[in-house]
Structure 1
Amino acid sequence: MTEATTTAPRLFSGSHLPLALGVIGLVTLSAMENRAVGTALPTMVREFDALGSFGLANAAPNASFVFALAVAGLWSDRHGPLRTLRLGAITFGLAQLLVGFAVAMPMVIAGRVLSGIAEGLLDVSLLVLVARALPAVLRPRMMSLISAMWVLPSIFGPLLTGIITEQFGWRWVFLGAVVLLIPTWLLLQPAIRQSQNAPEPERTAEHAAELAASRTALPWAAAISVALFTLTLTGDHLATHRVLGGTVVIVALAVLAVAAVRVMPRGVFVARRGFPSVVAIRGLGGAGFTGVSVYLPLLLTLQHHFSPSKAGISLSVTGVFWAFGSWLQGREHRFQRVNVLRTGLALMTVGIAVTSLLAWTDASVWFGLSGWAIAGIGMGLSASSLSVLMLDLSNAGNSGRNAGAAQMGSVMSIATVVAVTGTLLALNAANPQPWVFGTIVTFGAVLTGLGLLVAGRVRQGLE
């Protein structure tokens, strides 16, 4: 046995163990809170007699998340990840306390806004901390675990939240997260001390220019948040206010387009080789997959007469396949990272195309859902691979901005696609025909297919 073999670093041993456990804990808490709201929110709006605020409570964190990503990327590169991480943890705790002790719906909405800010701060700072504290060989497995920690709450979160809500009340869903935040934060302390002792990255003139550009982009990030918030609200009411709503949607999309050009790295919209292609693919793949997953339960309920619980369970199972794909990505294999990405995007495209048969034909429901399971494996492979490639194409001086840009591009793409497809559904809400759902699902396959075509440009940036 060679010395290289005996000294190979491991994620769950030695000095890397506290970081791995702390990151897993924080990501799991954030994911559980994110997924639990969907189960608890109906009870909350009924208790506060505020059914009309349901859409607002759902849209609030998405809007604040985008702006938080821009701020987190700038702060992490300028001051290191620790200040941003601490602020994210504090904001997360305040958000849960605000919702947990809410006496009226405005307090809940304010807490949801803070949740979006906390998620943006934590997501970026944790990625930067991983990039600085872990050797490159361990990053794929860490990205795989981070992805899995989002998938598992999607499977078990609704059930656990339902039990807590029924047995103890919905407030303990949020107050319990505050209690768990304390030991999770303590687990991160060794990694935080290690990061504090690490040498500061060299600040070049290029880095200074990039930081200045990031500061200039902050107002545009705020404009994106407002535009996404407006799109979400308007799409829900377009059927009853078509002229006014349509005008607002067009204006919001125009603002979003102009602002996106200002905040995204140069070359993203033409998929320039290297990091811009990573951002483009993340946006295309995320929008394609999530844009389908949002409407699939409704398709199963309306067109195939599934009960709501049955539709939800059938889709929760696909989380297992996402986790499986993410696990495969983290394994040691002989394939290059870009080839893993291509495989994931190909599986997503084929899987979503098969899923579209649920709308276009009378094919077996379980055959269609098998396609969705394939897409889940592809999403697990591609999402984690994109995170690894993002870190590989970044350095200590720009990893924060790159992480923020990659996530911001994904969030913008997903929110825009959901808003546009939601508008299509709203215009046909009285009697949605199979072609409506068929168009939505097929569009998702087109987006992931475009991502597959762009994947080769990532390899060119690595050469």
Structure 2
Amino acid sequence: MSTEAAREAAPTQTLSEPAPRLLSRAHLPVVLGVLSLVTLAAFENRAVVSILPTVVHELDGWSLFGAATGAPLVTLTVAMAWSGPWTDRQGPGRVLLTGIGLFAVAQLISGSASHMGVFVAGRAVSGAAEALIDTAMTVLVARALPETLRAKVFASFAAAWILPSVLGPGVAGGIDAVVGWRAVFVAPLAIVPVSLALVRGALRGERGSFPAADAPGPETASSDGRQLRASFLLAVGLAAMTCAGPLLGDREGARVMTGLALVVGGLVVIAGTASRVLPRGTLRLHCGVPSLVALRFIVALAFTGVGGTIPLMLVQTRGVGPALAGTSLAVTGVLWAAGSWLNSTGAVQRVRPAARLRAGHASIAVGALGPVLLSLGVLGLPAGMVGWGLAALGMGLVSPTLTTEALALAPEREQGRASAAMGLASTMGVAVPTGVVGVVVAMQGAGVDGRTFALLMAACAVAALVGAGGAGRAWACD
């Protein structure tokens, strides 16, 4: 029986049973706890993306720009593969608290860095923290809230990004102007105690009310071990691309060739280990969770490949400061949240998930043309951001749909693994364009031009079209 048919055959809620509410007394601790963490992570993310060009300039670290963006992906890859089985075995509580602790350590390292290498180390710790927090939060939501509320809580996640996206770049730019860029990393630590207090309420409920998942069998444990080993190889591939930056920025021909060899070798390792890290059938877009994991990779590549490039493109080609360059982040946060809210409404929830995924991918492909034309000077900043707003709206449709459908298709005892697989796919999707942009910046330095940015972003738009074509594969088992 297909997932759609199973849902139709499931018993419906009787009139005497009250409909579950997201802000009811039973669910409020979980909702407030996870929203506080999402908001904290959103402020940190938007501030870092906005301030990174300034950090690179201040520490004279152009050759390590790719490392600063790639190091979190390397550590996130290994931590994500580890976090799934850990969460399934012991529940999300310990994993979540460990992630919060690592987040605080990462901020301190980055904010106190006197050399670009130390800054990169701080970003690496941040990647591990993100993996643990993301996996644990997703499983906490799945175990604590009924399925009918999941779309709404993931829409609230997107809404929690609005204020950080609108204010984060400006706040980061203001802090940099008044105090210096280091305070941008230290300031979020003031919010950590508040988040911990809220999360403790959610975790008390998680320990006392929600049933623990069944222990994995021998086959699952063996598969977990293979996946963890493969994740280390994948991290090696990502690290090779990250380490290539300083060599590619060198004028000596032999060092440049070595750097290019590292990039090519890294890509080969990534491609070779993908089938071992991700669920079986992912590369073939096999029905069920594997297909959704594949779509997560595609949409991460397409959306992040464009959105992550826009601030640097504006700084390099338009000479704007961090606050104005963060305009794209504000557009992303607001329209992504709008798309997620739209996705959670009853009218849209009645639309088949495949149709929502197809529409979202198509919106990303079309909307990416705004930044492409902006980088070429054909459009101004306002018009270019209108296009990007359409892409963000599409991402708001795609992202929560992928997450809720993956949780619905995965058995409860494997929800942590499914969440981790989605996270790994997203990491790989982010890593590919991030690595390519890092290589380009390392080779061309401050001389990278608008045509180069346009070519990179156009390639990501094509990837979104591929995702639109495969949007219905998850439900094609019959």
**TM-score for both structures, normalised by structure 1:** 0.88
Letter in 1 for 2:280: R
Task: Please point out which of 210, 232, 237 is paired with 1:227.
Answer: 237
The more displaced of 210-219 and 445-454 is 210-219
The more displaced of 276-285 and 325-334 is 325-334
Q: Which residue in 2 is equivalent to 1:446?
A: 462
Contact 2:62/2:445 (CA < 8 Å) preserved in 1? Answer: no
Q: Which residue in 2 is equivalent to 1:455?
A: 471
**CA distance in structure 1 between the partners assigned to 2:282 and 2:396 by the alignment:** 23
Say if 1:126 and 1:426 are closer, same or farther in 2 by CA, change over 3 A: same
Residue 447 of structure 1: CA displacement?
0.5
Name the % identity: 35
Contact 2:33/2:199 (CA < 8 Å) preserved in 1? Answer: yes
Task: Please point out which of 97, 122, 125 is paired with 1:114.
Answer: 125
Task: Please point out which of 178, 183, 194 is paired with 2:194.
Answer: 183
**CA distance in structure 2 between the partners assigned to 1:427 and 1:99 by the alignment:** 25
Q: Any idea what the Cα deviations from partners look like across 1:332-385, whole Å, max 9, x if unmatched?
A: 223233322222112112222455444678456644432221111101111121
**CA distance in structure 1 between the partners assigned to 2:391 and 2:202 by the alignment:** 35
Contact 1:282/1:386 (CA < 8 Å) preserved in 2? Answer: yes
**CA distance in structure 2 between the partners assigned to 1:249 and 1:451 by the alignment:** 25
Task: Please point out which of 196, 203, 214 is paired with 1:202.
Answer: 214
The more displaced of 88-97 and 18-27 is 88-97
Letter in 1 for 2:413: G
Contact 1:279/1:409 (CA < 8 Å) preserved in 2? Answer: yes
Residue 191 of structure 1: CA displacement?
2.5
Q: Which residue in 2 is equivalent to 1:25?
A: 36
Residue 394 of structure 1: CA displacement?
1.4
Contact 1:425/1:436 (CA < 8 Å) preserved in 2? Answer: no
Contact 2:54/2:322 (CA < 8 Å) preserved in 1? Answer: no
The more displaced of 435-444 and 78-87 is 435-444
Q: Which residue in 1 is equivalent to 2:4?
A: none
Aligned residues: 458
Q: Which residue in 2 is equivalent to 1:312?
A: 325
Contact 2:63/2:246 (CA < 8 Å) preserved in 1? Answer: no
Local SS of the residue matching 1:455? coil
Letter in 2 for 1:398: E
Contact 2:95/2:136 (CA < 8 Å) preserved in 1? Answer: yes
Note if 1:385 corresponds to 2:401.
Answer: yes
Task: Please point out which of 211, 215, 240 is paired with 2:221.
Answer: 211
Q: Which residue in 2 is equivalent to 1:272?
A: 286
Residue 76 of structure 1: CA displacement?
0.8
**TM-score for both structures, normalised by structure 2:** 0.85
**CA distance in structure 2 between the partners assigned to 1:258 and 1:187 by the alignment:** 42
**CA distance in structure 2 between the partners assigned to 1:43 and 1:366 by the alignment:** 23
**CA distance in structure 2 between the partners assigned to 1:51 and 1:420 by the alignment:** 15
Contact 1:129/1:195 (CA < 8 Å) preserved in 2? Answer: yes
Note if 1:331 corresponds to 2:341.
Answer: no
Q: How is 1:58-73 mapped onto 2 (pairs within 5 angstroms)?
A: 58-73=69-84
Residue 157 of structure 1: CA displacement?
1.4
Residue 38 of structure 1: CA displacement?
3.8
**CA distance in structure 1 between the partners assigned to 2:38 and 2:239 by the alignment:** 24
Say if 1:11 and 1:424 are closer, same or farther in 2 by CA, change over 3 A: same
Say if 1:30 and 1:307 are closer, same or farther in 2 by CA, change over 3 A: closer
Contact 1:59/1:229 (CA < 8 Å) preserved in 2? Answer: yes
Residue 172 of structure 1: CA displacement?
4.3
Q: Which residue in 2 is equivalent to 1:416?
A: 432
Residue 49 of structure 1: CA displacement?
7.2
Residue 405 of structure 1: CA displacement?
0.9
Q: How is 1:250-289 mapped onto 2 (pairs within 5 angstroms)?
A: 250-289=264-303
Say if 1:153 and 1:203 are closer, same or farther in 2 by CA, change over 3 A: same
The more displaced of 436-445 and 92-101 is 92-101
Q: Which residue in 2 is equivalent to 1:399?
A: 415
Task: Please point out which of 319, 336, 341 is paired with 2:357.
Answer: 341
Contact 1:74/1:215 (CA < 8 Å) preserved in 2? Answer: no
Letter in 1 for 2:36: G
**CA distance in structure 2 between the partners assigned to 1:292 and 1:54 by the alignment:** 17
Q: Structure 2: where are the runs of 5+ without partners?
A: 1-12
Say if 1:311 and 1:163 are closer, same or farther in 2 by CA, change over 3 A: closer
Q: Which residue in 2 is equivalent to 1:132?
A: 143
Q: Any idea what the Cα deviations from partners look like across 1:242-264, whole Å, max 9, x if unmatched?
A: 32222111111111122222111
Letter in 1 for 2:125: L
Residue 116 of structure 1: CA displacement?
1.2
Residue 219 of structure 1: CA displacement?
2.3
Contact 2:175/2:183 (CA < 8 Å) preserved in 1? Answer: yes
Contact 2:65/2:441 (CA < 8 Å) preserved in 1? Answer: no
Q: Any idea what the Cα deviations from partners look like across 1:68-94, whole Å, max 9, x if unmatched?
A: 101111201122212211211222223
Local SS of the residue matching 1:185? helix
Letter in 2 for 1:196: R
**CA distance in structure 1 between the partners assigned to 2:14 and 2:207 by the alignment:** 30
Letter in 1 for 2:331: T
**CA distance in structure 1 between the partners assigned to 2:471 and 2:157 by the alignment:** 22
